[in-house]
Amino acid sequence: MTKVRNEVDVLAVAAHRDDVEQTCGGTLLKMRSLGLETGILDLTQGEAGTRGSATERAAEAEAAGSILGVRLRKALDLPDGRVENTYENRLKVIRVLRELRPRVVILPYWQGRHPDHYTAATLGYEACFLSGLARVESGQAPYRPYKIVYASLYADVRPTFVVDITPFIGQRYQALMAYRSQYSNAEDGSALFVPEEEIRERTFAEARHYGQLAGVRYAEPFVQKEVGLVEDLMLLPVASL
């Protein structure tokens, strides 16, 4: 039997284009620097936004993805603002999981302000589970990821762990700024959109806050539902005092 190839090691799934850039882009950069293959799956194409067409955003998302060093970036066609956890949508995510076979899946945290974000968490989790069942048919071999972690930057929760992204903070910010139609200082819709300087400050301040929790400069927060497993107490990172 021929071994089926894993197209990516880590797959970040998010509701909207630019979510990944805000919550776990630095982690994707770091994993890439460790030699791992990474990918992004955006569930929507951002057609409901005030600025920029879906085509424009597709080009921006592609540019942002290449700054993040991902091997591939895909977008599903779920309606923006109406991400729903239906069987049909789970099957769309399952098809991507079975094609890319990621070992680790990053999902948004399961609570939050935007319904698309928390619905994406549940939809993503259930797709990961069902993807492992042979009776869920998509014409592909069943595949279940090993690990799910939740990017919790949008959520007001204490992270289970953080990833040190200090060397990558500038690149992560550049990836966010690739969404020119959303973030550059523009005339139209300016009452709705925060200026670039404000976004820069927020991006760095948030990363600094989570870095501080672990004694590093910049970090991104994650929650995992499982307990941690330790072999050697001597190798536990992060000083207590």
The answer to whether residue 206 forms part of the interface with Zn ion (CB under 5 A) is no
Q: Which residue is nearest to Zn ion (CB)?
A: 16
The answer to whether residue 21 forms part of the interface with Zn ion (CB under 5 A) is no
The minimum distance between CB 92 and Zn ion, in angstroms, equals: 18
Structure tokens at 99: 């094609």
* Span 91-130, contacts to Zn ion by CB under 5 A: none
The region of 14-22, 70-78, 169-177, 179-187 touching Zn ion under the rule CB under 5 A is 14-22
Site string (182-201) toward Zn ion, x via CB under 5 A: --------------------
Among 16, 17, 57, 98, binds Zn ion (CB under 5 A): 16
Nearer CB in complex with Zn ion: 27/131: 27
The minimum distance between CB 107 and Zn ion, in angstroms, equals: 13
The minimum distance between CB 36 and Zn ion, in angstroms, equals: 25
Query: How many residues touch Zn ion (CB under 5 A)?
Result: 3
| Interface ranges with Zn ion (CB under 5 A) | 15-16, 19
